[in-house]
Amino acid sequence: MSRMADLHIDIVTELSKQSKEFNEAIECGCNECELYTRAEIDKQFESMSAAWVKANPLRVVKVSS
């Protein structure tokens, strides 16, 4: 399995432990719940990415346009 897939699983596991609503949405799986869970996973990933960039400023490659 890829590192991104492992990270996705870790995020879902953590969110399921932290939020009863998230866990219930995962279990439901309807379209509305899927949209909700995807949005929550994206928020968590973005916050992790921002924290990583802040902690590793020298590793960030700036793209010139």
For residue 51, the enclosing domain spans 3-57
Q: Is residue 63 part of a domain?
A: no
How many structural domains are present in the chain?
1
Intra-chain end-to-end CA distance of the chain, in Å: 34
Q: Is residue 27 part of a domain?
A: yes
Q: What integer pLDDT is reported at residue 8 of this predicted model?
A: 85
- Which of 34, 40, 46, 41 lies closest to 8 in space, CA to CA? 41
Q: Is residue 12 part of a domain?
A: yes
Count Cβ atoms below 10 Å from residue 41 Cβ, excluding itself.
15
- Dump pLDDT digits (tens) for 37-58: 999 999 998 888 777 667 766 6
- Residue 3 CA: distances (Å) to CA of 8, 10, 13, 31, 48: 9, 10, 15, 27, 14
Q: Are 12 and 26 in contact (CB under 8 A)?
A: yes
Q: Is residue 49 part of a domain?
A: yes
- Whole-structure pTM over 0.85, yes or no? no
Q: Is residue 62 part of a domain?
A: no
